[in-house]
Amino acid sequence: MKTIRKAVACLALAMAATVGFASTANAATINPTPWTLRTPGLFEDSNFPSALTTSLIAPDKNPIGANDWACKPTTAHPEPVILIHGTWENAYDNWNGLSPILKAQGYCVFALNYGNSTGVRGINATADMIASANEIATYVKKVQASTGAKTVALVGHSQGGVQARYVANLLLPKGLVSKVIALAPTSHGTTLSGITKLADAIGVKKFGFAVLTAVKMPSAVQQATPTAPFYVNVNGKGETIPGIDYIVIATKYDEISTPYANAFIKAGTGATVDNITIQNVCAIDLSEHLSLSYSKNAAQIVLNKLDPAHPHAIRCYPQAPLTGGTGLL
């Protein structure tokens, strides 16, 4: 009977038009009509495996809608959105789902490739994390100069999520970043589903770290070491700074940024933090780490947070792990 009730509940969720979402907004201000999300083209790379395959052939390919350097922000969307990918990823395979959605809504969208320390094209964010942060900060300043925007919004996934917070808090001029939106960020490091703890228990962690260092992938070591200088810098004196809105979107099915609740951060004086578990917004979203940036539910949250004065109700879409994407299926 319990199984039947659970199945009925899931079916009801799938058929429901919307679920309410606005943890920091007055419910009366929410537009009851959900966002109309752009529908990908028939052969478009609208999930992570598909985009990854393309990026193996074209590792420097821009996500759809991103890096139009002639784009000028509008009155409706005055902030350019800068997308920051995760470890071992690239701009295309991480953001080819969200970027075209944001562009279709009228945003100027930018996405960089950063932190390539191995020389293998397309496998990025492997370098020392502090060095990568400085590279990202330079890119953000370039976007600001090109667009003439007074403020920008940073959206990061995995390492990119904690990098967004690092550059906003520590490297960029105060007031330049208004919002940091992090999807499954490694905010306090990761255990990789307990692999690092197991390696430590059986005495092979140092060897594994030595191998990663030898192949020029220090960021993997640093994210498994919460006491690394990068994390001391970004977390040691408080996790936020005044004047920035921080949003963290995590998934309880995360297999890489673990434990998944370690993604969440605490608000300090003058900052706001909204920690969101995607399954609390849509219970039938089964996105894990890699597919979260392709979740249509996460995309709607991002749209609400980018324009908090005009939030919409969230339509709850079922999302499959790994293969889930922004397409119709």
pLDDT tens figures, 199-233: 678 887 788 888 899 999 999 999 999 999 999 99
What is the Cα–Cα distance from 96 to 61, expressed in whole angstroms? 10
CB 325 within 8 A of CB 48: yes
pLDDT band for position 329 (cuts 50, 70, 90): low
The model's pTM: 0.91
Instruction: Name residue 112's beta-bridge partners.
Output: 84
- Would the pLDDT of 314 be above 80? yes
- Would the pLDDT of 21 be above 50? no
Q: What is the per-residue pLDDT for 111? A: 98
Write the pLDDT tens digit of every residue in 163-206: 999 999 999 999 999 999 999 999 999 988 877 776 678 887 78
Q: φ, ψ for residue 183 (rounded to 5)? A: -105, 120
- Would the pLDDT of 31 be above 90? yes
Query: For 269-293, what is the mean pLDDT?
Result: 97
Q: What are the domain boundaries of the chain?
A: 2-306
CB 70 within 8 A of CB 148: no
- Would the pLDDT of 20 be above 70? no
For a pLDDT cut of 90, what percent of the chain falls above it? 83
What is the Cα–Cα distance from 110 to 34, expressed in whole angstroms? 25
What is the Cα–Cα distance from 297 to 9, expressed in whole angstroms? 18
Write the pLDDT tens digit of every residue in 241-261: 999 999 999 999 999 999 999
Q: What is the per-residue pLDDT for 147? A: 98
Beta strands in the chain (DSSP E): 81-84, 109-112, 152-157, 177-183, 245-250, 272-277
- Pick from 176, 173, 155: nearest CA to 81: 155
Q: What is the per-residue pLDDT for 125? A: 98
Q: Please state which CATH class domain 2-306 belongs to.
A: alpha beta
DSSP string, 63-113: PTTB--TT----SSS-S-EEEE--TT--HHHHHTTHHHHHHHTT--EEEE-
Q: What is the per-residue pLDDT for 198? A: 66
What is the Cα–Cα distance from 296 to 299, expressed in whole angstroms? 5
What is the Cα–Cα distance from 167 to 164, expressed in whole angstroms? 6
Write the pLDDT tens digit of every residue in 36-92: 999 999 999 999 999 999 999 999 999 999 999 999 999 999 999 999 999 999 999
Q: What is the per-residue pLDDT for 23? A: 43
Assigned token pair, 24? 């920091």
Q: What is the per-residue pLDDT for 220? A: 95
Query: For 291-315, what is the mean pLDDT?
Result: 97
Q: Is the backbone peptide bond immediately before 173 cis, with ω within 30 degrees of 0? A: no
- Would the pLDDT of 107 be above 50? yes
